């Protein structure tokens, strides 16, 4: 029998147990099962590096994503079956709205050789973006939003820094971290 894992999520921080764990949620906490669309404000974190378009479609459908939040400074869709026309046709067909937040993008990439220094500068920048973060939270509050960024992994990425900064504005959201490349390797 396959093991099901439960995740207790509060403002993007999760603790996991096995299906044998009795889980309870106090006020402000949510229980979720991996792969199920949350019923409240939610962020799905997805890196697009080497991501095939078919996996991108799969993630959006599985989480019933209604909004795409693109924080890339210079947004483009290309490679692995991506092209702007196909992407936006897919968004239109699923009634997905696309939002760009270039003010929340990491403008420090390339300014230093150490990626940790760049990430530190980015976190400092986000701490000054209160109005933009509040606007972003309004989108997240209205239903599942996909946070799109270049890094394959969420941990140590700009998406993680942004989720942490957003939780300073309001922590009443859940976070689903998608690794479709890992899923593809498992299949």
Q: Note the pLDDT tens digit of each residue in 116-168.
A: 999 999 999 999 999 999 999 998 988 899 998 778 888 888 999 999 999 99
Average pLDDT for consecutive 10-residue bins of the chain (187 residues)?
Answer: 39 42 38 53 87 89 91 73 87 92 85 90 96 93 86 88 94 86 57
CATH number at residue 90: 3.40.1010
The pLDDT value recorded for residue 11 is 39
Q: Look up the pTM and report it.
A: 0.72
Residue 108 included in any domain: yes
How many domains would you assign to the chain? 1
Residue 54 included in any domain: yes
The pLDDT value recorded for residue 2 is 39
For tokens 């792969």, name the residue. 35
Q: Is 148 helix (H, G, I), strand (E, B) or coil?
A: strand
Going along 4-50, which residue ranges are E strands?
6-10, 13-17, 30-32, 42-47
Question: Using CA atoms, how far apart are residues 116 and 112, in angstroms rounded to an integer?
Answer: 9
Residue 29 included in any domain: no
Residue 187 included in any domain: no
Question: Using CA atoms, how far apart are residues 111 and 51, in angstroms rounded to an integer?
Answer: 26
DSSP-assigned letter for residue 4: P
Residue 25 included in any domain: no
Residue 186 included in any domain: no
Domain range for 111 is 39-181
Residue 15 included in any domain: no
Residue 19 included in any domain: no
């Amino acid at each position: 029998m396959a093991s099901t894992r439960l995740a207790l999520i509060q403002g993007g921080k999760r603790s996991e147990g096995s299906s044998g764990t009795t889980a309870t949620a106090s006020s402000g906490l949510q229980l979720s099962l991996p792969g199920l669309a949350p019923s409240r404000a939610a962020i799905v974190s997805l890196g697009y590096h080497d991501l095939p378009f078919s996996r991108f479609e799969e993630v959006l459908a599985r989480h019933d994503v209604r909004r795409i939040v693109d924080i890339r400074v210079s947004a483009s869709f290309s490679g692995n079956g991506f092209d702007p026309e196909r992407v936006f046709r897919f968004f239109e067909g699923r009634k997905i709205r696309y939002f760009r937040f270039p003010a929340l993008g990491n403008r420090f990439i390339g300014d230093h050789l150490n990626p940790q220094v760049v990430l530190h500068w980015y976190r400092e920048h986000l701490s000054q973006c209160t109005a933009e973060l509040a606007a972003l939270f309004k989108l997240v509050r209205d239903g599942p939003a996909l946070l799109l960024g270049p890094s394959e992994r969420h941990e140590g990425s700009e998406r993680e820094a942004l989720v942490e900064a957003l939780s300073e504005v309001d922590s009443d959201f859940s976070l689903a971290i998608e690794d479709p490349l890992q899923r593809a390797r498992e299949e």
